[in-house]
Structure 1
Amino acid sequence: MAFQTIKVSIEDHIASITLARDPVNILNIQMMKEISEALEIVISRNDLNALVIRAEGKAFSAGVAIEDHVGELAEPMIHAFHKLFHQLSKVPIPTIGVVEGAAIGGGCEVASFCDITVASRSSKFGQPEINLGLFPPVSAAYFPWLMGYNLTMELLLTGRTLKAEEAKEYGLINTVVSEEEVESYVHELLESMKAKSREALKLTKKAVRTSMAVSITGAISEVEQIYLQELMKTNDAKEGLSSFMEKREPVWSHA
């Protein structure tokens, strides 16, 4: 398939999806749909040992396009975004996120949703949605499983940005390496995956995900309704998005 915002390759039993929307891989609806289509291809294959998700450019991803949060685009955007995660959760093989640069907002969610996430030392992670009067639905549903209640609340309620080492300490990612070591580390990790039984990899992942998947899937669906039916109808959500696009400080009405 021809993609405009991502690159997809399959070689030596390893699939790769590379975010390629210059300059900072802002996730718009088209890109979300293309990632979901690429994941469908990966899911349909029986000859793969791992999937790598990484990015070109200055950042892994600076998040979801603000303009896609507004008006009639909000609901199709959130459905397209969440479909991406439902598809990612269906990938039967290990998924490896490789982060170089910033992974912010939706980019942070995509990176951390991978089974194993490797980051360069200069990378940054954060969920700044609270600064726009919003919250990140996937993080609200998934991060308590990943790093516990308290650290999730700290990250989502403050909107602070974490350095790579902090993200590792939080449990948001697995490994931090120097910029020069990223390629060799990922290569060794993939070589390890290729040396394993494909069925054992799949069944190990299935066993772990089975203990979590029902709760996470249900939680994302419920959180989605809070986001669409409650949060996005508030004046503050509208003001947060407007102020961002107008490059000014928000004025909260707290309603």
Structure 2
Amino acid sequence: MTHELVQIERAGSVATLWLNRPDKHNAFDEHLIAAITEGLRALGDDATVRVVVLAGRGKSFSAGGDLDWMRRAAGFGFEQNLADANALATMLRTLAELPKPTIARVHGAALGGGMGLACACDIAVASEAAVFATSEVRFGLIPATIGPYVLRAIGARQCRRYFQSAERIDATRALQIGLVHEVVGAAALDPKIAEITASLAVGGPQAQARAKRFIAELSDRPIDAALVAATADAIARIRATDEAREGLAAFLEKRKASWA
């Protein structure tokens, strides 16, 4: 699948969705947001895709909001602004809830909405040259639609600083605060992602999708009788699936599972 603003490349069961506005540092406007959403939905529905990598063409991963788009939005009424914001929020949610593992490949600037994209992915791998920021306050705005994903990634304490200061966060600091999982040299970026995708290929696709939903169900809940009962119910239900039976049989027979 190729789109003017989004390109999708396949390598076996791994699909890479490339943001393709290199001259604009892959900054968002309404057209790129729609193209990303469309591309993600197509990949989410494709049973032959096991892992989705999100990447950016050119020098940047994504520099956030396109200035021309933001300038136009400044002249919108409330209803227009709400529709615009809902499109961005829907795109981020589509990424966050995609029923398969997602990896952000961050090689340059990931600012504002670009940082939101990285945080909405399950896994983030950055090059040493990557830089992040929630820069919205510099424009008199707040990191609203990206907020839930950034908060989930780095926690409220770090958000209190960076949502207000708009400081640049280098790759080393991003690793320290949990924004990314790995930081590597530029030449090692794709090999590291290939290493992670190989690990992901070992897991059952239905189990991975369920594990992803389960994390959301567990978040911020007290460990009480209701939660303990929910965990027992979850494992009992998944043990009865064909995928679980195949996974256990493969382990006992010392062979690869059918999906691997």
Give TM class, smaller chain. Answer: 0.7 to 0.9
SS state at 1:206 partner: helix
Deviations 1:74-112 (A, max 9, x none): 333212211101211331111100000110011111012
Structure 1: runs of 5+ lacking an equivalent: 214-255
The residue that corresponds to 1:45 in the other structure is 46
1:42 deviation in Å?
1.4
SS state at 2:36 partner: helix
CA contact (8 A) 1:93 1:202 kept: yes
1:133 paired to 2:134: no
SS state at 1:10 partner: strand
SS state at 1:148 partner: helix
Q: Say if 1:75 and 1:138 are closer, same or farther in 2 by CA, change over 3 A.
A: closer
Matches within 5 A, 1:43-82: 43-68=44-69, 69-72=73-76, 74-82=81-89
CA contact (8 A) 1:43 1:91 kept: yes
Matches within 5 A, 1:55-134: 55-68=56-69, 69-72=73-76, 74-134=81-141
The residue that corresponds to 1:201 in the other structure is 208
SS state at 2:103 partner: strand
Aligned equivalents of 2:111 and 2:204: distance in 1?
34
Paired residues, number? 213
CA contact (8 A) 1:43 1:90 kept: no
TM-score, structure 1 length as denominator?
Answer: 0.78
1:212 deviation in Å?
4.6
Letter in 1 for 2:180: I
Deviations 1:6-39 (A, max 9, x none): 1013331112110110221111110000000011
CA contact (8 A) 2:53 2:102 kept: yes
TM-score, structure 2 length as denominator?
Answer: 0.77
Aligned equivalents of 2:153 and 2:104: distance in 1?
15
The residue that corresponds to 1:182 in the other structure is 189
The residue that corresponds to 1:31 in the other structure is 32
1:2 deviation in Å?
4.6
The residue that corresponds to 1:155 in the other structure is 162
Aligned equivalents of 2:216 and 2:135: distance in 1?
28
Aligned equivalents of 1:172 and 1:51: distance in 2?
19
Q: Say if 1:139 and 1:85 are closer, same or farther in 2 by CA, change over 3 A.
A: closer
Q: Say if 1:212 and 1:37 are closer, same or farther in 2 by CA, change over 3 A.
A: farther
SS state at 2:209 partner: helix
Q: Say if 1:2 and 1:121 are closer, same or farther in 2 by CA, change over 3 A.
A: closer
1:135 deviation in Å?
0.5
SS state at 2:22 partner: coil
Aligned equivalents of 2:96 and 2:191: distance in 1?
27
SS state at 1:196 partner: coil
Aligned equivalents of 1:136 and 1:100: distance in 2?
22
CA contact (8 A) 1:99 1:119 kept: yes
SS state at 1:15 partner: strand
The residue that corresponds to 2:172 in the other structure is 165
Aligned equivalents of 2:49 and 2:138: distance in 1?
40
Output the aligned Cα RMSD. Answer: 1.7
- Please tell me whether Structure 1 or Structure 2 has the larger radius of gyration of its CA atoms: 2
The structure whose RCO (Cα within 8 Å, separation 6+) is larger is: 1
CA contact (8 A) 2:131 2:170 kept: yes
SS state at 2:183 partner: strand
CA contact (8 A) 1:118 1:174 kept: yes
Fraction of identical pairs, as percent: 25
1:126 deviation in Å?
0.3
Structure 2: runs of 5+ lacking an equivalent: 221-260
The residue that corresponds to 2:7 in the other structure is 7
